[in-house]
Chains A and B, each alone.
Chain A
Amino acid sequence: MATTLKQIQDQDSYQINGKTFTSRLLVGTGKYPTNESMAECLEASGTEIVTVALRRVNLDSKGEKTLLDFIDPEKYTLLPNTAGCYSAEEAIRVAHLARATGISDFVKLEVLHDEKTLLPDPIETLEATKILVKEGFTVMTYTSDDPVMAQKLEQAGAHAVMPAGSPIGSGQGVLNPNNIRIILEKLKCPVLIDAGVGSASDVAIAMELGVVAVLLNTAIAHAKDPLKMAYAMKNATEAGRLSYLAGRIPKKLYAQASTPQKDF
């Protein structure tokens, strides 16, 4: 039965560890010109899940507004990250601190190898995934686009596996779509592209591959006009998703006329 426009406009949803989401764009909260600009961008992006980080309180900033004055945890699911952690032990400590806020038991697990590449350390990442899953966290694991590693993370119980399109903050887009395709073929859990997208077309391409969602931060926060880019990203995510569902035509070598042959 053909779908109606109304059905298409009612966005399809997906679940992460039993929690349902409709927006397929996850947005980070770092590096915006101001907190006010960040809040506007989150709104424009239509996101439902926002990443946050944990850092020491600045003891010299008594009474200053904090991030949570600009993000309503009732409206957004907070996804605390373990950015800046270089071992499973450190990442687990940060996850425990995040959960102790009582706001979220989601964790974006990110265990890095070195500061220059910000590539994940696969061994530490796998170890931390196993432990945090056992401890009852909803674990969304950042990884490289290696299909073998992605499968190991799923086997370890990750609730979502999030391969990088390209290095964090690099804006290079999805560099190896074939690896993403293999990951999608092998995994049953939600697969998200996390990191590396630079523009709306990058997001659309990622979504057309069939990932459930895209997570980004710098592409919006460092755009010349973050608010416009946030809105562009929302539209690109939806366009890419629909294009994936609609099914593209095969690429052909020769032309095929769109107009019937002349018959007069």
Chain B
Amino acid sequence: MKLIVNGETKNFGQPLTLEQLIQQLGVRRETVVAEVNRKIVPMDQRGGLNLSENDQIELIQFVGGG
């Protein structure tokens, strides 16, 4: 399936939940905030969210700033 993650198009062999996507990308789950199609998905709902073709996912984290 094709997903757009942080603006990059990526292809995956099989359907994924949001939790599985985060795992596959090697992103640290506890420090990341996820949006799917501009809607924030709370951490405890990631496992139950099946991603669909062309979903736009944003994975955001804290960085240094003033």
Contact = CB atoms under 8 A, between A and B. Distances in A.
Interface of A: 28-32, 35, 38, 51-57, 59, 62-63, 66-68, 78, 80-81, 83, 93, 96-98, 100-103, 168-169, 195, 215-218
B65 A68 contact: no
A218 B65 CA distance: 10
Contacts of A32: 64
Given A54-B33, A83-B66, A168-B66, A59 B61 contact: no
Nearest to B59: A57
Contacts of A67: 61-64
27 contacts: A28-B64, A28-B66, A30-B65, A31-B64, A32-B64, A35-B64, A52-B65, A53-B64, A56-B6, A57-B6, A59-B8, A59-B27, A62-B27, A66-B63, A67-B61, A67-B63, A67-B64, A68-B31, A68-B61, A68-B62, A97-B33, A97-B40, A98-B33, A100-B42, A101-B33, A103-B62, A195-B66
A221 to B, nearest CB: 8
Contacts of A31: 64, 66
Interface of B: 5-8, 25-28, 31-33, 35, 38, 40, 42-43, 58-66
Contacts of A51: 65-66
Prevailing SS type, chain A contact patch: mixed
A55 B58 CA distance: 10
A170 to B, nearest CB: 12
B12 to A, nearest CB: 13
A217 B5 CA distance: 31
Max chain B C-beta neighbours (<10 A), residue from A31, A56, A57, A168: A57
Most central of A52, A59, A62, A93 by chain B CB within 10 Å: A59
Interface centre among B6, B7, B42 (most CB of A within 10 A): B6
A168 B66 CA distance: 9
A52 B42 contact: no
A159 B26 CA distance: 38
